[in-house]
Chain A
Amino acid sequence: KAGVTQTPRYLIKTRGQQVTLSCSPISGHRSVSWYQQTPGQGLQFLFEYFSETQRNKGNFPGRFSGRQFSNSRSEMNVSTLELGDSALYLCASSQRTSGNYEQYFGPGTRLTVT
């Protein structure tokens, strides 16, 4: 079974621009969660989507948004980029059914904002 894939793997953007990151979950997984990892704040939860619905959201400003498509693929968007948005963005997929809640992480997208 193929693992979680994320594109692009690396991205350099300028302050004020916007960016879209993509995540394809493991086949059959309907839940996709997104996390931001920075040296200062560690790993922080952004949001979770299940069957195209956002069910949970972390404490991030409205500039951070996401969506999920009918094939469970997910995108996250960051508008009006700030220097502090430079981070490793990780997505994780899980079945979240039948008591199986384990999350499998993708390779991440390294975003650098200059």
Chain B
Amino acid sequence: ELKVEQNPLFLSMQEGKNYTIYCNYSTTSDRLYWYRQDPGKSLESLFVLLSNGAVKQEGRLMASLDTKARLSTLHITAAVHDLSATYFCAVDLAGGTSYGKLTFGQGTILTVHP
């Protein structure tokens, strides 16, 4: 059974600092997604990573995928308060008996302080 683990689960950052969220998964896959969720809201897609070595950047966030290590990272550069949210990674085995199923990590609650 696919397991997806994120760490840390809680991250308190100062504005202007850098940090990385890690997402490890247990079964080979080359489809990994990062989502953001604000309190009481739905999931907003941040990045779609579809191959080994994929790197995507948007503003202060950069995501990468290493399928051999079964690891994805979400790097935050010079954090600002607006980045405060919960971040989820999710793995899609894309076929077989896993039709339409995303397996999510536990989520990382990010709080950015002035």
Contacts and interface: CB of A to CB of B under 8 A. Distances in A.
B43 A56 contact: no
A56 B104 contact: no
A13 to B, nearest CB: 19
Contact of B100 (A43, A94, A105, A106): A94
A19 to B, nearest CB: 19
Interface string B28-56: 00010101000011111100100000000
Contact of A56 (B31, B94, B101): B101
B31 A101 contact: yes
Interface residues of A, number: 26
A45 B91 CA distance: 12
Contact of A42 (B43, B98, B104): B104
B95 to A, nearest CB: 9
Contacts of A32: 100
Nearest to B88: A43
Interface of A: 31-33, 35, 42-43, 45, 48-50, 55-56, 58, 90, 92, 94, 96, 101-108, 110
